[in-house]
A and B are shown apart, each in its own frame.
Chain A
Amino acid sequence: MSAVQAASLPAVTTPRKRRFRVRPSRIVINVVLAAVAIFWLVPAVGILIISLRPESAFEQSGWWTVFTAPAQLTFSNYKTLLSAGFSAGGVLDSLTTSLAITIPVTILVTIISSLTAYSLVFGRWRGRTVVFLLIVAMLVLPLQMALIPVASLYNFIGDTTGLKLFGSVIGVIIFHVAFGLPFGIFLMRNFYTGIPHDLLEAGRIDGAGEWTLFRKVVMPLGLPAAASLAIFQFIWVWNDLLVALVFLANNSHLTLTLFLYGQTRFLSSNYYIISTGAMISIIVPLIVFFAFQRYFVRGVLAGAVK
């Protein structure tokens, strides 16, 4: 109970007493939340500890033994992994490749989706609803269905124009952008429909053209949606294995997911590399999430009209 609430209570009980009384329902909620949090964190903590134990320790004892024998913790795995530097096939090279794919895809999807949504919501052309419905229909199209046709299309383009899309980072970017757009447009369009048209009309009278309206009025208001879209998009592309596997398999520069996948073996996988690489790959999405999370806060629209 907040101090504000407590202070406004009748004077029969002193504020001090009230402040320390905790409702039983809150205890239950907190216990449940803590249990869920621990349950979710166990695998991540496990991987973190495995990455901090020596290579040989993996086969000798479980990671939880670290709580009784903390002396086994070491950064040796990280040193080994990072010692390869940025040479092709190393973890840092994969990190760079992953960033080279994920950053452009995230930016392109967010911008193109926002612009398309603006046109769908505030544009004055016929057939906007039909186009939107077609885009929504594309949402149900499974990505896996398009892999082979797109691969052969890339090959065809490569054969006829010499433009190498198959096996290249550009090809992967185009594929991800194409498959990220339906959801992006859907999300942004639904958010923009909540922006009062009066605001744009006021802007038009103030002297703004469409581009200025988009940049100065609609985009700032759509920031929470754009931030969520960017985070989703970033994490999806960052964690993608399938598209990279199909389009980048014969490329010397791998994505992080491909790098980790490459360390799995039929009999004995390199768990110390996988766990360490996984920790490195977690860091980037975490940074992205914490950088953008404040935009998740709603209520930017409060006070627009009325």
Chain B
Amino acid sequence: MARVVLDDLTKRYEGGALAVDKLNIDIKDGEFICFVGPSGCGKTTALRMIAGLEDITSGEIRIADRVVNNLPPRDRDIAMVFQSYALYPHMSVRDNMAFGLQLRKTPKADIDKAVEAAAKILDLERFLDRKPGQLSGGQRQRVALGRAIVREPSVFLMDEPLSNLDAKLRVQTRAEIARIHTRLEATMIYVTHDQVEAMTMGDRIAVINEGVLQQVGTPKELYEAPLNRFVAGFIGSPSMNFIDLKVSNEGGVVTLKGEGSVLRPDDTMSVLLRDSGLDTVTVGFRPEHLEVGAVTGPGLDVTLTIDVIEFLGNDVLIHGSSGGRDVVAIVDVDNTLKVGDSVVLSATPRRLHVFNPVSLARMIGTG
């Protein structure tokens, strides 16, 4: 159990490429935090620096109030689960899990007890004497988790541990990891490129892009109040729609217009837009927040020509374009919309996010 603090953590490779740029995150004791971002964003590099597998260019890492910058991995009191599992192929499942404890000269009886206990949690008791090669992908992944658990580390580091599993197994193992976290109350740092994984598992999520931390917050905060356009587009599935609208101020009445769309701002939004002095803004709205039919009073109306309709069971996903921009909406299954139809969709001001088109930072929105 430990607090992990990343203080201006930076990694610059020898070629000059900046992988992680001044990362500042304070991870609370017992917290489950997800590092999420597209591939190559530096999230894995950050994790490897915490693990001690990658040198730190500058900045500081503190685990349990101890600076670990120059400590080898074994002295950091961490365990790591690799994307590739990295099980020792020549050792049995039991030995794979016991290896770390054996190296720490733990008494054999204690090792056996720890391994049996971990095997029980992970339902691996039947496989203890098998080699990793004789196990399925899901079982191997559980062994990798078991290897981390038996060590009882202060911090668990997980590098995309589910990406090699099929969809069904992924959901199961996701729940398993969440259970382990509740049970052990250990600090967990979980790297993934899958925002759904991050949203479902993390107490908090750190969104990273191009080595720079975009936002840290609870899944709800990131969903409802993304700090910038990147976070807004990255979190949520299907992703948020964005359209550019021109701001016009006619006799003190602010209106935003685009090709096929109109936004009538409410009072607070009007004031902010007037004060910003911007000619154009980017407006974001989530597919699930669109309603069929125009809105009365303040809100956004988008006229959409439908290209594709996808049936999801309870809902229908409609793809179309409005003023040259692709727009996706989730609507009720009872609608009789057809491909080629032109439909007006609307969103209330509460559901709108307004971004500065240059800085991409969020100006207005909930939260």
Binding site for B on A (CB under 8 A): 196, 198-199, 201-209, 212, 216-217, 220-221, 299-306
Contact = CB atoms under 8 A, between A and B. Distances in A.
Given A207-B100, A212-B103, A201 B53 contact: yes
Contacts of A199: 86, 88-89
B164 A205 contact: no
B interface, size bucket: 20 to 34
B229 to A, nearest CB: 35
Interface string B65-88: 000000011100011101011111
B84 A220 contact: no
B170 interface: no
Contacts of A300: 89-90
Nearest to B164: A306
B131 A303 contact: yes
Nearest to A301: B89
A304 B85 CA distance: 8
A221 B89 contact: yes
B53 A196 contact: no
Contacts of A216: 88, 99
A78 to B, nearest CB: 43
A177 B33 CA distance: 54
B135 A205 contact: no
A199 B90 CA distance: 11
A303 B140 contact: yes
Contacts, number: 85
Given A303-B133, A303-B135, A304-B132, 17 more contacts: A196-B84, A201-B80, A202-B82, A202-B86, A202-B87, A204-B52, A204-B73, A206-B99, A206-B147, A208-B74, A208-B103, A216-B88, A221-B89, A302-B89, A303-B140, A305-B87, A306-B84
B141 to A, nearest CB: 10
A109 to B, nearest CB: 23
B134 interface: yes
A145 B361 CA distance: 73
Nearest to B55: A124
B104 interface: yes
A120 B154 CA distance: 34
A304 B100 CA distance: 17
Interface of B: 51-53, 72-74, 78-80, 82, 84-90, 99-100, 103-104, 131-135, 137, 140, 147, 151, 164
Contacts of B85: 305-306
Counting from the closest, the 9 A-B pairs by CB-CB distance are A303-B133, A305-B84, A206-B100, A198-B86, A207-B74, A303-B132, A202-B86, A304-B89, A207-B103
A204 B53 contact: yes
Contacts of A217: 88
A220 B90 CA distance: 7
B52 to A, nearest CB: 8
A303 B139 CA distance: 11
Contact of A204 (B74, B132, B147): B74
B86 A305 contact: yes
B118 to A, nearest CB: 14
Contacts of B100: 205-207
Nearest to B131: A303
B80 A205 contact: yes
Contact of B74 (A206, A301, A302, A303): A206
Contacts of A301: 89
Given A205-B74, A205-B79, A304 B86 contact: yes
A38 to B, nearest CB: 39
Contact of A206 (B53, B89, B103, B137): B103
